[in-house]
Amino acid sequence: MISKIFKTSSLIMFMLVLFSTAGNVFSYTIEVDDDNKGAFFTVSAVSADNDQRYSLWDDDSNSSSWILDINGVFVAPMENGWIRDYHKSGEVYKLQYSNRSYSFENEAVVSSSGSYLLFTAIFTNNSSEQLKFAPRLLLDTSLGEETGLPFVLPDGSFITTERYYEGSKIPEWIGSIRSSGVPALYIFMEKGIGDRPQSVIMSNWLRLKQSTEDFIVEEGRSFDNLPFSEADSALMLKFSGKKLQPGETMTVRIILGLNPNQPGPEAFISPVSDSVDFEKEQFRLREYTLKERLTEVDTALDKINNLLEDESLISDEAVLDIELSTANQEKLRAEYENL
């Protein structure tokens, strides 16, 4: 009964927060700084009459950043003396870094409605040998005076302690709720025009910033536990790595918004028509889904082969696990036929 009451009260609180910020969906639009000088884009939500402006993360452009795992070595472009170029091409803001071995391009496009922001990160292998790229995005979701902000999930739950999500456990979206009258920020995790992370960590910003390479998640740890006395919340989004041959590229897309309704491709067709082929993107999505499904089949076959090779591993639990995997594959058969 107590848990039921708590869940109900959380849902009511969630609805109240949505109603209190609902007006911001219509009265605020996203704006990218035209004169960016940092390693990441400076982005604000601006009221219709331009009287109010709220940064979506700290003005310090290094508070949010892409971190590249290149062959197991962690690289932050701004900190490694890369050649930097920032410019605007039509409606696309481009922030580029390059050296002899690889280049990184981050693009930002605001939707035609002004309510969403599409980040496109492109990693290119400029070297003469194979490299493995595994990008991460550290996203600052708590502004200076807005510390201690909870994360909110689609089920209405509020998260104020360290959490780790991976695979199918990753929520459809994660919201960072600000005080009344200040635009909320939503990060979308579902596949579509954006890419789904491999894993997501919720933690203290400074703790994530200082522990990028080997972060140990402490489930339930408060965002303001000592020595991090300021409850400065942040997200770390990790994406699957990809081996790139010389000249090959890897692309990752992230969508942020001022409301929890995930946009479709049509929201960005006009601004990014020169840089995104949506027919190609849909094929890429189908191809990725097929590969993901085939990986699941391979995993199920490996389980069966292990039992055939070593009968001592056979148990009721092992057999049940295989039966569940098989049932799941049957359920997905229709998806294969439509790919």
Q: List pLDDT tens digits, range 176-202.
A: 877 666 777 889 987 667 788 999 999
Bigger pLDDT: 284 vs 273: 284
Predicted confidence (pLDDT) per residue in 86-122, tens digit: 888 778 888 888 877 888 888 888 888 888 898 888 9
Bigger pLDDT: 186 vs 275: 186
Question: What pLDDT band is residue 47 in, cutting at 50, 70 and 90?
Answer: confident
Reply yes or no on whether the pLDDT at 6 is more than 70. Answer: no
Please give the share of the chain, as a percent, with pLDDT higher than 90.
9
The beta-strand segments (E) located in the chain are 28-32, 43-47, 53-55, 65-70, 73-75, 83-89, 92-98, 102-110, 116-125, 131-140, 151-152, 158-159, 163-166, 173-176, 185-188, 199-204, 233-238, 242-244, 249-257
User: Are the C-beta atoms of residues 209 and 203 closer than 8 Å to each other?
Assistant: no
Q: Where are the domains of the chain?
A: 2-275, 285-338
CATH fold, domain 2-275, is: Beta-galactosidase; Chain A, domain 5 (2.70.98)
Bigger pLDDT: 7 vs 219: 219
Please give the share of the chain, as a percent, with pLDDT higher than 70.
67
Top mean-pLDDT range of 174-188, 195-209, 260-274 = 195-209
pLDDT score for 24: 38
pLDDT score for 221: 84
Reply yes or no on whether the pLDDT at 237 is more than 90. Answer: yes
pLDDT score for 318: 76
Calculate the average pLDDT of the chain. Answer: 74
